[in-house]
Structure 1
Amino acid sequence: MSWLSRLLGSRPAPPDGGAPDAGGVDVRRLLVGLGNPGPDYVGTRHNAGFEAIERAADAAGIALDAEVGGRAGRSVVGEGLYRGHGLALAKPLTFMNRSGAAYAALLDRYGLDAADVLLVYDDLALPLGQVRLRGKGSAGGHNGVQSVIDALGTAEFPRLRIGLGDSFPPGGQVDYVLAPFDDGERAAADAALDLAAEAALAFAHDGLAAAMNQFNGR
Structure 2
Amino acid sequence: MKYLIVGLGNIGSEYEMTRHNIGFRVLDALAKASNLVFTDSRYGAICELKVKGRTLILLKPSTYMNLSGNAVRYWMQTEKIPLEHVFVVVDDLALPFGTLRVKPRGSDAGHNGLKHIQQILGTDSYSRLRFGIGDDYPKGMQVDYVLGKFKPEEEEQLPAKLERSAEIIKSFCLSGIQITMNHFNNK
Local SS of the residue matching 1:174: helix
Of residues 116, 136, 143, the one that matches 1:174 is: 143
> Which ranges of 4 or more aligned residues in structure 1 deviate by more than 4 Å?
none
Kept in 1, the 8 Å contact 2:8–2:23? The answer is yes
Q: 1:157 offset after TM fit, Å?
A: 0.6
Of residues 117, 121, 124, the one that matches 1:155 is: 124
TM-superposition CA deviations, 1:145-173 (whole Å, max 9, x none): 00100001111110100000111000111
1:40-55 correspondence runs (5 A): 40-55=14-29
Which residue number corresponds to residue 97 of structure 2?
128
The CA distance in 1 between the partners of 2:177 and 2:55, in whole Å, is 17
Which residue number corresponds to residue 35 of structure 1?
9
The CA distance in 2 between the partners of 1:117 and 1:53, in whole Å, is 14
Kept in 2, the 8 Å contact 1:122–1:162? The answer is yes
Q: 1:77 offset after TM fit, Å?
A: 0.6
Kept in 1, the 8 Å contact 2:49–2:58? The answer is no
Kept in 2, the 8 Å contact 1:63–1:78? The answer is yes
Kept in 2, the 8 Å contact 1:123–1:161? The answer is yes
Kept in 2, the 8 Å contact 1:128–1:188? The answer is no
Letter of the 1:142 partner, please give it. H
TM-superposition CA deviations, 1:181-201 (whole Å, max 9, x none): 011221233332221122112
Which residue number corresponds to residue 59 of structure 1?
33
The CA distance in 1 between the partners of 2:28 and 2:78, in whole Å, is 20
Letter of the 1:39 partner, please give it. S
Q: Structure 1 length as normaliser, TM-score?
A: 0.82
The CA distance in 2 between the partners of 1:50 and 1:176, in whole Å, is 17
Q: Structure 2 length as normaliser, TM-score?
A: 0.94
Q: 1:61 offset after TM fit, Å?
A: 4.3
The CA distance in 2 between the partners of 1:31 and 1:84, in whole Å, is 16
Letter of the 2:121 partner, please give it. L
Q: Considering only CA atoms, is the larger Rg found in Structure 1 or Structure 2? A: 1
Q: CA RMSD in A?
A: 1.3
Q: Percent identity?
A: 39
Q: 1:48 offset after TM fit, Å?
A: 0.3
Q: Which runs of 5+ in 2 are unaligned?
A: none
Letter of the 1:134 partner, please give it. K
Local SS of the residue matching 1:40: coil
Kept in 2, the 8 Å contact 1:30–1:204? The answer is no
Local SS of the residue matching 2:152: coil
Q: Which runs of 5+ in 1 are unaligned?
A: 1-26
Letter of the 1:126 partner, please give it. L
TM-superposition CA deviations, 1:43-73 (whole Å, max 9, x none): 10000000001112223443322x332xxxx
